[in-house]
Amino acid sequence: MRADVDRGGAPRGRGLRTAIKAPWCARSVQCGPVTEAGGVVVSNSNVENLPPHIIRLVYKEVTTLTADPPDGIKVFPNEEDLTDLQVTIEGPEGTPYAGGLFRMKLLLGKDFPASPPKGYFLTKIFHPNVGANGEICVNVLKRDWTAELGIRHVLLTIKCLLIHPNPESALNEEAGRLLLENYEEYAARARLLTEIHGGSGGPSARVPAGGATASSADPSAPASVGGPGGAEGPMAKKHAGERDKKLAAKKKTEKKRALRRL
């Protein structure tokens, strides 16, 4: 059985094969089998498990995000699965990720929006809250999630995570430790991977799944040591101040110990 498509292009109904109207497809891209209604046939996806009204809500938000994305973020819906969103995020200025273009994906489960989507970076990145498999650890995708939060909010939160990493909930323990103890080393490692994997010659410069072309404001320009993502950026200044306080406290403690020995 195949679901119908309503006049607005959003899918309705359930079945083993769900037709999804895909206005985001580039004309030069073959999106797969096309139904009589002009949609793309989808099989074996979570779309089949979502109620019709949720499918319509997701379709509406995805269409809006594609046409009017947040600053520095682009959304490339998967023409064969509305619950698998491909996204690119430009590395924010003032961070070691500046100048990079990072691919990621959001997977909407069968219980969405009661349960949060799962986020993964497809571009290799050195970040405390990104695991070895690309899994993203952020509260909005876990305990802070509510059904009222939308996909746009999730994407903005993930972008903010590039500006303000949280070492307290690190999936990459080494990155979390360096962020707290040796920011310069952390920034250097993060910049290196950004230049290798997030630059114009890296994997992120390739066309995302679905055939759309991702672009950013000069993603090939690496951040220099003294540049936005270097030792003089806001993140560096913040952690430098924290490090200086720790060093001062350590020296004070050592001085007290020396006086006791006398």
Catalytic center residues: 137
Q: Which residues contact 73 (CB under 8 A, 6 or more apart)?
A: 87, 88, 89, 90, 155, 156, 159
Q: Which residues contact 117 (CB under 8 A, 6 or more apart)?
A: 106, 107, 108, 109, 141, 151, 154
* Dist CA 210 CA 26 (whole Å): 9
**CA–CA distances in Å: residue 115 to residues 110, 143, 153:** 8, 10, 15
Determine whether 201 is exposed, middle or buried from the number of CB atoms within 10 Å of its CB (0-12, 13-18, 19+): exposed
Specify the amino acid at residue 156: L
Q: Which residues contact 245 (CB under 8 A, 6 or more apart)?
A: none
* Dist CA 183 CA 191 (whole Å): 12
H/E element, 104: strand 101-107
Where do the DSSP E strands lie in 117-187?
118-121
* Dist CA 204 CA 198 (whole Å): 5
